Structure 1
Amino acid sequence: MKTNIIYILLVLNLSFVNAQNYKSAFRSDVCNCLEEESLKRVLTENAFKRCLRETLPKYAAQIDASIIEEDTQQKFLKGQLARKDLLSAMPSELIYSCDVYFKHINFLRTSSLLIMRENAKEDEIEKYDQMVALTPSATAYFMRAKVHFKLGNIKETEADIAKSLELNPNSENTISTRHELMLLAWVLEEQERYKEAIEIYDKVYFGALDSEVAKLRALADKKSGGTIANIPVNVTVEDKENSNVNSRIKTVKVNRTDNKSKPSTKVKKDSTSLKKLFKL
């Protein structure tokens, strides 16, 4: 019995090592493809997808070999999931391991900010000053924060976001405040407060479907000297959503005698909001 357990552990350990080896080699091959592409033309999202598409078949055998499963159908399904996980992890992992890709993503981030500020109009702020004065709501402060950010008023942006979150009755709900928190993370990055920005990205991250947040988190971490080992373990959208729903269910039980219909509506609303965010 003891011998069998040791054998199983050895097999699992060998499988894990092989998986890590092919993932590292896969990243390297994709990076080489991107480097070759960058010598010919400016990198695009289509070029990135093409490199993934061309590289993946070379690793099919290694992916399947890393899966310990006797049932043929289950092995096939796990193989498909392994491929999906590999591809979804690539953007953030390449930011750490592939210099040409890091520079590409950083350029896109910087470029979007410069274009935003180039098109910003100073007199826009007056309109939102009046809005805040007349109706000092969470929405009014957030709208003014966005204008301040376009104008490069970093401290004012941060102050308005803080006020918006303070006034928002759903401030603890990361789905409801996602846009505010994402802007705040950008503001913190502009001040090179990368660790604080990363904490926000971790807070709003919803797993594999949320690749944009994963890339922004990796970008901030890389700039602060982080390595690929800092990538967090994936949390799926379903896990996050179920967590929110479970917390709502507790609220339903507490308030059931007061109102039976409202808590149920809240759960449905949260689920709908999450699906809209990812256009499911």
Structure 2
Amino acid sequence: MNIKNTLVILSIIFFGNVATSQSHKSAFRADICDCLTLESQKRKLTENAYKACFIETLPKYATQIDAQIVEEDVNKKYLLGQIARRDLILTMQSQLVYTCKAYFEHLESEKLSKKLILRERAKESDLEAQNQLVAMSPNTYSYFSRAQLHYNLGNFDKAEADLKSCYEANPNKENMMSRRHELLLMALVHEENKNYAQAIALYDLAYFGVQDSPVAILRAIADKNNGGTIANIPKLVDGKIGSAAVKKEGRGARETTRGRTTRTENKKTTTEKTQSKKKSDTSSLKKLFKIDN
């Protein structure tokens, strides 16, 4: 058998396995959706409905999930199987936003309900104290606190203005995780103004990995409301969006390179890429927060 024929056969095997994997996930989603739809016809869906339907449907696909794991060690294969199930139960939620009407409507209803409860509890009289706080100490914390109150009151333009001030006053602009609450609130403000593309970009910056399913769900809802499909779910590298690729490349270079000089050069390259990524994130944030350079 020549090399060309060997490559063709390997390609068929690889893409055949990928197709099988995607096929069973699509069927899994469809079965969970059927379960959720039936449940919604009987009673109002709750937060536990998804987990209950996942557990009910899982036995049908357990063998196919394990078949995707190539590992001879029994203990390691079991562990990888548990990780695969954990990741699946988390990632499938955002996928169902696009493919399951009953689940999407439930999430939208829950989101609206929480917003209306916060609005009901918010008081215009509290603004005086917030204004005094900003006047006495105009820092990122006071601006964010007032922005949150404005959002709860439905004053979205004022909330956006305070979030801009919050951003400008923040001495730690480049640390996305420490500013996660600002990113999420600004994303919600953008959604209220139907600026879905900006909201999605902020959700991407706030997202910290596979286990961050609440943000993945919010992103999916915003994208679906913007006319998006399941194909718009971003591909993850090491469970993260974007910067993980740079981190992985830097880590791999350090592990495989010998010699102090080469390690130093790789470290410099990784540092430069990280700094470039930070500058890119900061520049993107300025645009998303509508702040001029």
Please say whether Structure 1 and Structure 2 have the same fold, judged by a TM-score greater than 0.5: yes
1:132, 1:140 within 8 Å by CA — same for their partners in 2?
Answer: yes
Following superposition, the deviation at residue 4 of structure 1 comes to 3.2
Find 1:150's aligned residue among 145, 149, 152.
Answer: 152
CA contact (8 A) 2:87 2:211 kept: no
Query: Shift of residue 237 of structure 1?
Result: 6.4
Match of 1:267 in 2: none
Provide the C-alpha distance between the structure 2 equivalents of 1:31 and 1:90, rounded to a whole number of angstroms. 11
- Counterpart residue number, 2:112: 110
After TM superposition, the score normalised by the length of structure 1 is 0.82
**1:39-118 mapped onto 2 (5 Å cutoff):** 39-69=41-71, 72-118=74-120
State which drifts further: 192-201 or 228-237.
228-237
CA-CA distance at 1:76 after TM superposition: 3.9
Cα distance between partner residues in 2 of 1:93 and 1:147: 32
> Which residue is equivalent to 2:142?
140
Percent identical across equivalent pairs?
A: 49
TM-aligned CA deviation for residue 49 of structure 1: 0.6
TM-score when scaled to structure 2? 0.78
Corresponding pairs, count: 246
Name 2:194's counterpart in structure 1: 192
Deviation digits for residues 43-101 of structure 1 (CA, Å, limit 9, x no counterpart)? 01212111000101100122223344555555444433332322221110000000000
1:210-231 superposed Cα distances (whole Å, 9 cap, x missing partner): 0000000000000000000000
Aligned to 1:211: 213
In structure 1, C-alpha distance between the alignment counterparts of 2:230 and 2:77, rounded to whole Å: 28
Distance 1:19 1:87, change over 3 A: same
Q: Distance in 2 between matches of 1:116 and 1:126?
A: 18
Distance change in 2, residues 1:82/1:11 (3 Å): farther
Partner residue, 2:17: 15
Q: Which structure 2 segments of 5+ residues have no match?
A: 251-263, 269-293
Shift of 1:122: 0.7
Q: Which blocks of at least 5 consecutive residues in structure 1 are unaligned?
A: 255-280
- Name the residue aligned to 1:221: 223
Aligned to 2:6: 4
- Aligned CA distance change for structure 1 residues 232 and 94 (closer, same or farther; 3 Å): same
Where does residue 269 of structure 1 map in the other structure?
none
Encode CA deviations 1:86-137: one digit per residue, 9 max, x unaligned. 2221110000000000000000111111111111111100111111111111
